């Protein structure tokens, strides 16, 4: 059940949200639309769902052109950032909604809802109202509700954006496991590159209404196509025209031909890793990443002078 987006443009008044965007989401994949806010990722997702009508271009789902179809007839499951829970219905009624609209027999609905509530670990909560659930539980209910109608594709719009960091991490891992079991073609919108890298097998990185690059998380990280991709998918130092990842900076206690002098300004201990904030004579700042052992071996301390060398750097010819 692939998704094909062809040359979509969409403006809101003067603001061009999408500019001639084309994208293919292969069957069974979990693709992330990643980008800063205002990059058009949510608009693209809503165009796929039919909640937004594109100015030009088309959308196909499972080889069928659905550009003119209403959201009701596209066979998509949609999960909203702020849950969009039906507040006057119980968890059971929320999940059963799509099945009741389809006039499925009562016994079938009961079985299917029970099965889904088990899947999202909300078995004991069927009679509760959304107001009595935590954010994470509400979003799991939203997922069950979307999955109930056996959608051809599952679309998630910043599904974990409103949750705290710990719950977000749990749900991410859980979503990945769910996808590995069901293999439903899934598109997830996120502004968090770590989330995209962790959960998706493909990432489409968006910026200012365009797709900058599509590829596996590793592709984007190791072979970024331009400066924007380079700096969005991970922390980066810019020295002249060169971009250097913090873990590609080597720190030495003695100078050797190719090194440059810098002073340790700040040390941030992040468990296994230590982030070293450096400042050079000319005032440029660098951020290096070393392991705890390396930091200990160098006896790093604030104010200390170290010698820095780039192991690997990337330049873009534009």
49 binds other proteins (CB under 8 A): yes
CB 23 within 8 A of CB 214: yes
Q: Tell me the closest approach of the beta carbon of residue 96 to other proteins, in angstroms.
A: 10
262 binds other proteins (CB under 8 A): no
Pick the closer one to other proteins by CB: 145 or 202: 145
Listed residue (153, 151, 158) closest to 172, CA to CA: 158
Q: Which stretch binds other proteins (CB under 8 A): 46-54, 268-276, 277-285, 292-300?
A: 46-54
Q: Which of 7, 15, 22, 82 binds other proteins (CB under 8 A)?
A: 82
Beta strand 210-215 with 237-239 is unpaired
270 binds other proteins (CB under 8 A): no
Pick the closer one to other proteins by CB: 80 or 316: 80
Q: Tell me the closest approach of the beta carbon of residue 4 to other proteins, in angstroms.
A: 19
* Count, residues near other proteins per rule CB under 8 A: 28
Cα–chain-centroid distance for residue 58?
Answer: 24
Cα separation, 289 vs 300, in Å, equals: 12
Q: Tell me the closest approach of the beta carbon of residue 105 to other proteins, in angstroms.
A: 16
Pick the closer one to other proteins by CB: 70 or 270: 70
Cα separation, 260 vs 109, in Å, equals: 68
Pick the closer one to other proteins by CB: 78 or 232: 78
Q: Tell me the closest approach of the beta carbon of residue 35 to other proteins, in angstroms.
A: 21
Q: Tell me the closest approach of the beta carbon of residue 211 to other proteins, in angstroms.
A: 24
Question: Three-class SS string for 34-70?
Answer: ECCCCCCHHHHHHHHHCCCCCCEEEEEECCEECCCCC
Q: Which of 12, 22, 26, 102 binds other proteins (CB under 8 A)?
A: 102
80 binds other proteins (CB under 8 A): yes
Residue 39, C-beta contacts closer than 8 angstroms, at least 6 positions apart: 206, 207, 208, 209
159 binds other proteins (CB under 8 A): no
Pick the closer one to other proteins by CB: 50 or 54: 50
Cα separation, 72 vs 51, in Å, equals: 10
CB 200 within 8 A of CB 31: yes
* Binding pattern for the stretch 117-156 against other proteins, x by CB under 8 A and - elsewhere: ------------x-x----------x--xx-xx-------
Q: Which stretch binds other proteins (CB under 8 A): 83-91, 161-169, 188-196, 303-311?
A: 83-91
CB 204 within 8 A of CB 174: no
Residue carrying the six token digits 């954010």: 135
Name residue 290's beta-bridge partners.
274
Pick the closer one to other proteins by CB: 104 or 169: 104
Cα separation, 261 vs 255, in Å, equals: 8
Interface positions, 56-75, toward other proteins (CB under 8 A): 70-72, 74
Q: Which of 22, 36, 64, 87 binds other proteins (CB under 8 A)?
A: 87
Calculate Rg over the CA atoms of the chain: 24
103 binds other proteins (CB under 8 A): no
Q: Tell me the closest approach of the beta carbon of residue 109 to other proteins, in angstroms.
A: 13
Task: Give the burial string for 91-117 (b: 16+ CB within 10 Å, else e).
Answer: bbbbbbbbbeeeebeeeebeebbeebb
Catalog residues that contact other proteins under the rule CB under 8 A.
Answer: 49-51, 70-72, 74, 76-78, 80, 82, 84-88, 97-98, 101-102, 129, 131, 142, 145-146, 148-149
């Amino acid at each position: 059940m692939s998704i094909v987006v062809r040359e979509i443009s969409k403006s809101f008044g003067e603001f061009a949200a999408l500019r001639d965007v084309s994208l293919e989401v292969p069957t069974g994949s979990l693709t992330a639309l990643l980008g800063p806010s205002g990059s058009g990722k949510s608009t693209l997702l809503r165009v796929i769902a039919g909640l937004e009508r594109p100015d030009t271009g088309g959308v196909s789902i499972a080889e069928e052109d659905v550009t003119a179809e209403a959201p009701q007839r596209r066979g998509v499951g949609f999960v909203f950032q702020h849950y969009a829970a039906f507040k006057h219905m119980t968890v059971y009624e929320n999940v059963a909604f799509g099945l009741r609209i389809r006039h499925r027999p009562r016994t079938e609905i009961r079985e299917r809802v029970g099965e889904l509530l088990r899947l999202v670990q909300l078995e004991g909560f069927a009679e509760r109202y959304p107001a009595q659930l935590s954010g994470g539980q509400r979003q799991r209910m939203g997922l069950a509700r979307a999955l109930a109608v056996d959608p051809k594709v599952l679309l998630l719009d910043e599904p974990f954006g409103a949750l705290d960091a710990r719950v977000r991490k749990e749900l991410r891992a859980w979503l990945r496991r769910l996808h590995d079991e069901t293999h439903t073609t899934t598109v997830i919108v996120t502004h968090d590159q770590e989330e995209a890298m962790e959960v998706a097998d493909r990432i489409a990185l968006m910026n200012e209404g365009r797709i900058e690059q599509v590829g596996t998380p590793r592709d984007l990280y190791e072979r970024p196509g331009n400066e924007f991709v380079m700096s969005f998918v991970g922390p980066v130092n810019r020295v002249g025209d060169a971009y250097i990842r913090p873990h590609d900076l080597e720190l030495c206690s003695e100078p050797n031909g190719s090194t440059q002098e810098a002073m340790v300004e700040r040390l941030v201990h992040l468990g296994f890793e230590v982030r070293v904030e450096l400042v050079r004579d000319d005032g440029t700042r660098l951020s290096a990443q070393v392991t705890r052992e390396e930091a200990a071996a160098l006896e790093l301390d604030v104010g200390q002078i170290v010698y820095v060398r780039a192991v690997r750097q990337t330049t873009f010819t534009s």
